[in-house]
A and B are shown apart, each in its own frame.
Chain A
Amino acid sequence: MITPYAWMVPLLVVLPLVGAGLALAAAGRTWVQRVVSMTVLGSMLVLAGVLLWAADQEGAQVVYVGGWMPWEGIVLVVDRLAALMVIVSTTVTMGVLGYSIGQGRSSFDDESDGHSPLPVFHPSILVLAAGVTTTFISGDLFHIYVGFEMLLAASFVLLTLGGTAERVRAGTTYVLVSLLSSLIFLIAISLVYSATGTINLALLAQRIGDLPGGTVAVLQLMLLIGFAVKAAVFPMSGWLPDSYPTAPAPITAVFAGLLTKVGIYAIIRVQTLLFPTSRFEDLLLWAALLTMVVGILGAVVQDDIKRMLSFTLVSHIGYMLFGIAVGSTIGLAAAIFYVVHHILIQTTLFLVTGLIERVGGSSDTGRLGDLARISPVVGILFFIPAMNLGGIPPFTGFLGKVGLLQAGVDDGSWLALTVVVGSVVTSLLTLYAVARVWGRAFWSENPEGVTGSGPVRGGHHEALGLGVLVPTSALVAVTVGLSVLAGPLYDVTTRAAVDLMMRQPYLDAVLGAGVSL
């Protein structure tokens, strides 16, 4: 079955890869790299927008790569969930790239030739975008693995950019943990193939029900563990706050927005499509509760803003897991909504932290102070997303949590109600954590006479230019705009959740209408 907009689907991966090649070829010419990267990401955004409309109006768009049918080849599937994720991920990548372009010559600590930022930065970001998109649009388990490896390889390069001692230390932990999770996933795929003879998600949805219960449990657990490490679900979350804060602000921002959510996306896809009658609902609920509570308890003691944000990142993964674990349409819709909210909000906050570093010379609250007077603009840009993260109405953070709490109360089991209580407490503690940063960095007395032109790394003051303010403000505006447009967005995520719960639309799209489960 050929769908009318299917020709756009492969472009979502081909464009960034071609762009990465061009950017690498133009390594010495910074402006060529910038034009290529922004053009590629802009086109991806348009394509993804059209695809979301097409998926919403006319059903999932499917491509059989190379003309091979699902029985032996790879299929690409863009349904509502995939299109939505591609749009959001491309938006934040563009914002981050705009920020790093705006940073201009002083991008990153190590300008090797004193002129251009590292030439591998743009190609790596584009490969990362290609890997993330591959994961979102793939309808094949092994192809998802390949997407993971693409984004991982790019993220390894970005995290260790410049190769300072601190980044090599952080990079080592990150690289080894990521490789291990990929191996677990790889082994899981081979077991899935041995058991069913296919790795196509739609075919698996048909066949996995015929397997004995014990086999299904093993396959589900292996896949869940592999994805949970990527998504930083407690107790597999220790690597994240250890490695993220060392990278430059734009890189941490794109990691925080995208990489863990790719794991969450994979969990959503596999749980709903392959294991609809989950036997691990309780386990997931416990994991969600512990992720929230342990993560936020880590966040409240941190002095460094980047580290605090990394811990809240882990903590809020628990909310998404909660929605998945409840397994109702309303829970799933809220979880998808929360993923969209969280990608945007974490990226924005890390970029604002980059601004704070530029103004105050540090992201350590012990050395910052009085920023509200020194730079009110940064204050506003931090305050809005921080309140959003803390779940203050009328922002998206509040709306997403309301949906999740509703789903938990509807579920009604004592464990789900415990998680409801836990998520309210986590929300309050998040507010405490960001308020603590606000109080210490923005309202407190200046600790060591730090002024707006204080000593900055390398001894030169990095002023706030429009180049960094505009992309950051744009992302803040998107988060606020999303709060205004939360109604239509919730409608789309609800329709996506209904499709995921029914499973039949996905199978119809991939295998042809009328196949039975």
Chain B
Amino acid sequence: MSPNITTIVVASVLVATGTYLFLSRSLVRALMGFLLLGNGANLLYIVASGPAGAPPLVGKTEGPMADPVPQALVLTAIVITLGMTAFVLALAHRARQLSGVDLVTDDTESARIHARAEADDTGSPSARAVSDQIAAEGERTESRYHDGDTGRPARGEDGENR
């Protein structure tokens, strides 16, 4: 069987552009990347199913049949991608509600430990200050979520929650 070269080229382009978008810090762009990548992967299943043929139904015997297995697989994959997309969209919406942007931020605790390690190694006061500042920032964020309105969205902070 010689595979359909057009499908393969399209799949490669989708995977390549998807990978580029996936590397973005913006959650929505990454989601677009995921969708393109997913479609690229799905097209590969069409390649795997080989040449088109008659529908694989009982009683229909004329001509070569199409391979039904990859089509069943790709349908499942599409449905799963849909569900995952819905979740990522919800996550992006939540991120925007909380901070106004949907950019992925760094882990503050990790940054604090890096700064502290640098301070311990070099004895530089500026690194120590950075470490303390990150810790203080972290405490502020934490208290915002744990005092009073426990864990619930910081309503009204950006006027975004309705």
Interface positions of A (Cβ within 8 A of B): 72, 108-112, 142, 146, 149, 152-153, 156-157, 160, 162-166, 168-173, 175-176, 179-180, 183, 186-187, 189-191, 193-194, 199, 241-242, 245, 301-304, 307, 457-459
Contacts and interface: CB of A to CB of B under 8 A. Distances in A.
Given A108-B151, A153-B84, A180-B22, A193 B91 contact: no
A459 B22 CA distance: 41
Given A165-B145, A190-B41, A193-B48, A303 B107 contact: no
Interface in B98-141: 98-99, 104-105, 107, 109-110, 113, 117, 141
B47 interface: yes
Nearest to B107: A242
A109 B145 contact: yes
Contacts of B15: 187
Given A172-B104, A301-B117, A187 B110 contact: no
Given A165-B145, A166-B141, A187-B44, A302 B87 contact: no
- What are the 9 closest A-B residue pairs judged by CB atoms, nearest first? A109-B151, A110-B151, A457-B146, A190-B44, A194-B48, A458-B150, A193-B48, A186-B41, A165-B98
Interface size grouping (class) on chain B? 35 or more
18 contacts: A149-B84, A156-B87, A156-B91, A163-B98, A164-B151, A168-B91, A171-B91, A176-B22, A176-B88, A179-B84, A183-B37, A186-B77, A187-B40, A187-B41, A189-B73, A194-B3, A194-B48, A307-B109
Interface in B20-68: 22, 27, 30, 34, 37-38, 40-41, 44-45, 47-48
Given A149-B84, A193-B45, A302 B38 contact: no
Contacts of A172: 27, 91, 95, 104
Interface string B137-162: 00001000111001111100000000
B80 interface: yes
B76 A458 contact: no
Nearest to A458: B150
Given A149-B84, A165-B99, 14 more contacts: A72-B69, A109-B150, A111-B150, A160-B94, A165-B98, A169-B105, A172-B27, A173-B104, A187-B15, A187-B40, A187-B41, A193-B69, A199-B69, A459-B147
Contacts of A307: 109
Contact of A458 (B48, B104, B147): B147
Contacts of B141: 165-166
A401 B82 CA distance: 43
A110 B151 CA distance: 5
Contacts, number: 118
Given A149-B84, A156-B87, A172-B104, A164 B48 contact: no
B19 to A, nearest CB: 9
B30 A163 contact: no
A190 B42 CA distance: 8
Given A172-B104, A190-B48, A153 B69 contact: no
Nearest to B153: A163
B34 A302 contact: no
Contact of A183 (B38, B107, B150): B38
A245 B142 CA distance: 14
A459 B84 CA distance: 37
Given A176-B30, A191-B44, A168 B94 contact: yes
B91 A109 contact: no
B41 A302 contact: no
Main secondary structure of the interface of A (DSSP, over half): helix
B32 to A, nearest CB: 12
Contacts of A166: 141, 145
Given A163-B94, A175-B87, A458 B146 contact: yes
Contacts of A241: 110
A168 B95 contact: yes
A183 B141 CA distance: 35
B98 A168 contact: yes
Given A166-B145, A301-B113, A160 B73 contact: no
A187 B15 CA distance: 10
A162 B152 CA distance: 7
A236 to B, nearest CB: 15
Contact of A302 (B84, B113, B147, B152): B113
Contacts of A191: 44, 48
A471 B27 CA distance: 38
A87 B117 CA distance: 42
B105 A303 contact: no
Contacts of B27: 172
B67 to A, nearest CB: 8
A175 B90 CA distance: 12
A356 to B, nearest CB: 17
A162 B151 contact: yes
A146 B146 CA distance: 37
A245 B109 CA distance: 10
A281 to B, nearest CB: 29
B15 to A, nearest CB: 8
A162 B22 CA distance: 26
Contacts of B44: 187, 190-191, 194
Contacts of A242: 107, 110
A164 B47 contact: no
Contact of A169 (B70, B76, B104, B150): B104
Contacts of B154: 165
A16 B31 CA distance: 30
Contacts of B145: 109, 164-166
Given A142-B73, A176-B30, A183 B41 contact: yes
B156 to A, nearest CB: 15
A183 B80 CA distance: 11
Nearest to B95: A168
Contacts of B40: 187
Nearest to A162: B151
Contacts of A160: 91, 94
Contacts of B37: 180, 183
Nearest to B27: A172
A175 B91 contact: yes
